[in-house]
A and B are shown apart, each in its own frame.
Chain A
């Protein structure tokens, strides 16, 4: 039966979870809008920096390492996805397929070694 599909239940659960997240926000918004007194002021509206005046805007320069980690993450995350189907079926695979997968793994390890040697993984 199509109605027994677990994905249908997940969709229902998604809607429920969205409701559980949005309902408190909606109530808080309504409360702030209609009941609570507005007490705004320059100090309260200021950017919070432990009481000091904020200098410049929020777009501070940040380290490029974050970006490099992001790229390496992408490679290894995709690898994980490829490895899962292999993991559940590999005992019945022929030798050739098994070795092919090991070579795939080796190529990724090689990428890791390259990044390591290059010093990308060292946070200085």
Chain B
């Protein structure tokens, strides 16, 4: 197979100097990442509806289409019936719905809470390496040396939006939903934080790119730390408030939980934040445990030297993330909801000792091997 050689950026870019190039490349990367993330959020909602329809033996969204699309010869029927225009309709609808702010709410916080939920959901992706390199440019927004600390710092901020929403609504259901959610999220944050420590013991570096280079050639950490991965996976479900741990918004008890009093665009932001969180936690699982952008065969273990290889790495990464997203969605429609006491019990009395034991055993074995 012959791949096209590395194309130099300098050939078609005007000379902007060092700072100018850095600014331009950063801008391109940020716009690209945000565009991909938003598209994935929009289509995750569609996949959620399609998968739920499939599991419950329904059809799911299949009506929305742009005018004249159906007239395209062969592709027309596919483009109209698969519901691929549904996200556009949903977006327009949530924007045009009446933006109602009830009288009893605390106005400033009520408006602030959706934004506070949305921002951390975006920020987490900044340190995740989503590809090896493209044109000699590293495919990660910010290659921090303390990548994992940054991630946990930002993930912890996510709880503020939910608490703020519960407080701002000044109403019983959102208040209870908000307080339940905060207790749940902090509980599982500990399990999550402790479960990844053995990973960094193996890697010996807090940088996420190093985690991936450690996993090259199929040496994926999931095979060495299966317990850590399982705890992380379950904690990811709890952190993103997904079934079987969606206590904060358990519909049958608390209507919508912390977002009961919200409508239109403000509600849509909470919704998008939830899906963005799912994508980032899938991406974290792929990065920490499933080899990131590497594949053990086909020569995909090493950083790419060609443009096509770089694109293939991004494709591999996105493919893995999509597998986890489908898993998230699948679980939601397959499992019933836990009770709150079961949830807290699992987090504190099962996972916390389990992760501590895992940590201790890993530390002792590695230390004995090193000496």
Contacts and interface: CB of A to CB of B under 8 A. Distances in A.
Q: Do A and B come from one complex?
A: yes
A91 interface: yes
B189 A77 contact: yes
A88 B103 CA distance: 53
Interface string A59-97: 110100110011011001100110110011111100000
A53 interface: no
Interface string A34-70: 0010011000111111100010011110100110011
B269 interface: yes
A80 B197 contact: yes
A114 interface: no
Interface size class of B (residues with CB under 8 A): 35 or more
Could you say which of B23, B98, B173 has the most chain A C-beta atoms within 10 Å of its C-beta?
A: B98
A107 interface: no
A100 interface: no
B234 to A, nearest CB: 17
Interface string A11-55: 011101110111011011101100010011000111111100010
A54 B172 contact: yes
Given A31-B99, A69-B186, A90-B201, A20 B353 contact: no
B193 interface: yes
B219 interface: no
B144 A73 contact: no
Question: Which secondary structure dominates chain A's binding surface?
Answer: helix
Contact of A58 (B111, B144, B172, B193): B172
Interface stretch (B48-56, B175-183, B238-246, B299-307): B175-183
Nearest to B204: A88
Given A24-B269, A105-B356, A121-B348, A87 B197 contact: yes
Interface of A: 1, 3-4, 6-7, 9-10, 12-14, 16-18, 20-22, 24-25, 27-29, 31-32, 36, 39-40, 44-50, 54, 57-60, 62, 65-66, 69-70, 72-73, 76-77, 80-81, 83-84, 87-92, 98, 102, 105, 109, 112, 116, 121-124
Given A88-B206, A123-B344, 5 more contacts: A3-B22, A17-B122, A20-B118, A44-B102, A73-B190
